[in-house]
Structure 1
Amino acid sequence: MKTTPLLMLSALLCTLATCINVTPPADFNLEKMAGKWYMVGMATNAQWFVIHKATMKMGTTMVEPTVEGDVNGTSANLNSDGTCNRMARLVEKTETPGRFSFRAHPWNIDYDLRVVDVVYDSYAIVHINKITDTADVSEVINKLFSRSPEVSAALQDKFVQFALDTGVLRENILILPKNGECSPHM
């Protein structure tokens, strides 16, 4: 069998980019994603994460599907001084259920977000590609969400393996320490 240059290039690119299936589940159900989630894990080789990971703690995210099939997401993290850091974002649906996109306009950054593994009453693993207008390579960000602040060792291992499979270095995979929650009025 002849090895074509295109086949060799494909194999090399697959090896360098760490080939992994990051496709949402075929039976993805946005309505079942609604409600409160704890962000219990994060994994990325991004420089901002490497600098700040020692101070990061667990936070919450409220997922609210819209009539159009988009998602209003509100994240909240309690700071050590008792203040609350909140961020709200509308992520827009794509043609693929379980895949969403949004743009951070001040920084001209596009995000491709995919729910890649989910048990709706338990956990969700989310894979995000961050793509800037000037970057040759996108950043990969993986997040582990849970319906409770407690996650099993088996789920932690599953998340760690997924992050490694997407090219994140082991030292940049973090199961976040528990934290207090922001009150609704903070």
Structure 2
Amino acid sequence: MTLALALLLCMFLGTHGFNKQYPIEPQPNFDLEKFSGEWYRIGIADESELFAKYKKHIKLSKGLLVPDTNGNVNLTMWTMSVYSYEKTDDPGEFTYFSQRHKITKDVTIVETNYTDYSLVLKYKNMDKEYTQVALYGRSSILRPDLIEKFRSFALSLGFSEEAIIAPKDLDPCPILEPRATLWLPEEQEEAEAESRNNNID
């Protein structure tokens, strides 16, 4: 199901709050090799209390996604430990075990054109504590229509306006190794938020 069709269906159903009315599928014919490489995290939608507490301090961050030979994804943040997100039978969807929440979560590449932007959904069971939508760009500046696409998608899932942000300031922390995370594992969230106040994911 394309994003446009999903949004239309959501409007037709007149849903309110976190949406459970339609399945969210990954990008059709997802190509991990095309998706790999550098991305900037341009926007975030998150309803969790931790996000609300630190969202004013979050900055635009840069990462590098590197797939392994098995189709999984190796992730790090700066020089932190490497995390692995495992592929599923559906290309464009990955799973990982959350040490913080003690549950298995999914990460879905909802839509991407590989060269400009991608919309990523974490935990499509739609729980305010766990679910997050992120917008990524190949550059630190994206066209306004792509930012609006991200905003509309987040709103269609039930995120409030207050839960949707698009940071302007770039995180100055450099990538020191040829790998970095697009999704900071939430078991690191609180520690990172306390120490850096700029990367909740």
On whether the aligned pair clears a TM of 0.5, the verdict is yes
Greater strand proportion: 1
Q: For residues 143-172 of structure 1, give each alpha carbon's deviation from its aligned partner in whole angstroms, at most 9, with x where no partner exists.
A: 001000001110010000000011111111
- TM-score between both structures, scaled by the size of structure 2: 0.72
CA pair 155-21 structure 1, distance change in 2 beyond 3 A = farther
> How many residues of Structure 1 are paired with residues of Structure 2 in the alignment?
164
Residue 27 (structure 2) aligns with? 25
Distance in 1 (alpha carbons) for counterparts of 2:81 and 2:24: 25
Distance in 2 (alpha carbons) for counterparts of 1:13 and 1:41: 23
Task: Give the alignment's Cα RMSD to 1 decimal.
Answer: 2.7
Task: Check whether the contact 2:86–2:94 (CA below 8 A) recurs between aligned residues.
Answer: yes
Task: Check whether the contact 2:16–2:158 (CA below 8 A) recurs between aligned residues.
Answer: no
Query: What is the identity, as a one-letter code, of the residue corresponding to 1:98?
Result: G
Query: What is the identity, as a one-letter code, of the residue corresponding to 1:125?
Result: L
Computing the radius of gyration from Cα coordinates, the structure with the larger value is 1
- TM-score between both structures, scaled by the size of structure 1: 0.77
Map 1:30-179 onto structure 2 (within 5 A).
30-76=32-78, 86=80, 88-129=82-123, 139-179=130-170
What secondary structure sits across from 1:142 in the alignment? strand
Distance in 2 (alpha carbons) for counterparts of 1:137 and 1:144: 18
CA pair 87-23 structure 1, distance change in 2 beyond 3 A = farther
Q: For residues 40-75 of structure 1, give each alpha carbon's deviation from its aligned partner in whole angstroms, at most 9, with x where no partner exists.
A: 100011111111101100111211111111001233
Q: For residues 93-136 of structure 1, give each alpha carbon's deviation from its aligned partner in whole angstroms, at most 9, with x where no partner exists.
A: 011000000012354132211000001011110001187xxxx8
Question: Gaps spanning 5+ residues in structure 1: where?
Answer: 1-10, 77-84
Identity, % of aligned pairs?
27
Question: Gaps spanning 5+ residues in structure 2: where?
Answer: 1-12, 178-201
Residue 174 (structure 2) aligns with? 183
